[in-house]
Chain A
Amino acid sequence: MWFFPVFTGSQYTIFHNTLQYSLNRLHQQQGQKGVGNMWHERTRKILASTLAIALALSMLGLGGCGPADEPDDEDEDVARTETVKIGVHTSLTGGLADYGFAAAEALKIAAEDFSGFEVDGVVYDIELVIRDDKGEPAEAPVVAQQLIDEGVVGVIGTLTSGAANAALPIYQGAGIPMISGSATAPDLTEQGYENFFRTCLRDDVQGEALGLWAAELGAERAVVMDDRGDYSVALGNEVEQTLEAEGVEVLRQSGQEGDVDFSAQVSSMMAFDPDVVIFTGYHREAGLLFKQLREAGSDAQFMGGDGIKSNEIAEGAGGAENVEGTYSTFGGFAQEGMPGYTEFAARFEQETGVEAGPYAENNYDALGALVEAITTAGSFDGADIIDALHEITYAGVQGTLSFDEKGDVSVPGGAGTDLIPRFQFSDGNWEFIG
Chain B
Amino acid sequence: MAAITARISSFFGRVPRWVYIVAVLAFAIAFPMLEYFGLMQTLWLRVGTRALVYVLLAVGLNLVLGETGLLHLGYVAFFAVGAYTTAILSSPRFDIQWNFWVIIAIAMGLAMLFGFLIGVPTLRLRGDYLAIVTLAFGEITRMTLNNWEGLTNGPGGIPGIYPPQIFGWTVDSPAEFFYLLLVTVVIVVWLLNNLKNSRIGRAWNALREDEIAAHHAGVGPTRAKMLAVVMSSGIAGLAGAIFAYYQQFINPTYFLFMQSVIVVSMVVIGGMGSIPGAILGAVVLDTTPEIIRQTFTSWLPAAIGPDFLPGVQAAMQTEFDRYRMAIFGLVIVLMVVFRPEGLLPNKLWRREMHEEDPRELEKTGQHLFDFEEGTQDLEV
Contacts and interface: CB of A to CB of B under 8 A. Distances in A.
Interface of A: 1-2, 21-22, 26, 28-29, 31, 58, 61-62, 64-66, 68-69, 92-93, 97, 128-132, 134, 136-138, 141-142, 145-146, 148-149, 161-162, 165-166, 168-169, 185, 187, 191, 228-230, 232-234, 254
A166 B249 contact: yes
B155 interface: yes
Given A130-B318, A146-B294, A254-B147, 17 more contacts: A65-B303, A68-B306, A69-B306, A93-B322, A93-B325, A128-B318, A136-B254, A137-B247, A137-B249, A141-B46, A149-B43, A161-B156, A162-B157, A168-B159, A228-B155, A230-B251, A233-B156
B159 A165 contact: yes
Given A26-B338, A58-B300, A64 B156 contact: no
Interface stretch (B120-128, B276-284, B353-361): B353-361
Interface string B98-142: 000000000000000000000000000000000000000000000
A137 B253 contact: yes
Does more than half of chain B's interface fall in helix, strand or loop, or is it mixed? helix
B305 A66 contact: yes
A64 B304 contact: yes
Contact of A92 (B43, B321, B356, B358): B321
B159 A191 contact: yes
A31 B360 CA distance: 11
Interface in B202-261: 247-249, 251, 253-254
Nearest to B173: A173
Nearest to A144: B46
A146 B321 contact: no
Indicate the size class of the contact surface on chain B: 35 or more
Contacts of A162: 157, 249, 251, 253
Contacts of B370: none
A166 B83 CA distance: 14
Contact of B307 (A2, A132, A161): A2
11 contacts: A28-B359, A65-B302, A92-B321, A97-B322, A132-B321, A141-B247, A142-B50, A145-B43, A145-B174, A169-B249, A230-B155
B121 to A, nearest CB: 25
Contacts, number: 125
A65 B304 contact: yes
B113 to A, nearest CB: 26
A160 to B, nearest CB: 9
Contacts of B251: 137, 162, 165, 230
Contacts of B157: 137, 162, 165, 230
B364 to A, nearest CB: 14
Interface in B316-362: 317-318, 321-322, 324-325, 337-338, 354, 356-360
Contacts of A229: 155
B321 A234 contact: no
Given A28-B359, A166-B249, A137 B307 contact: no
Contacts of A145: 41-43, 46, 174
Nearest to B246: A141
Nearest to A161: B156
Contacts of A61: 300, 303-304, 308
Contacts of A138: 50, 247, 254
Nearest to B40: A149
Contacts of A232: 155
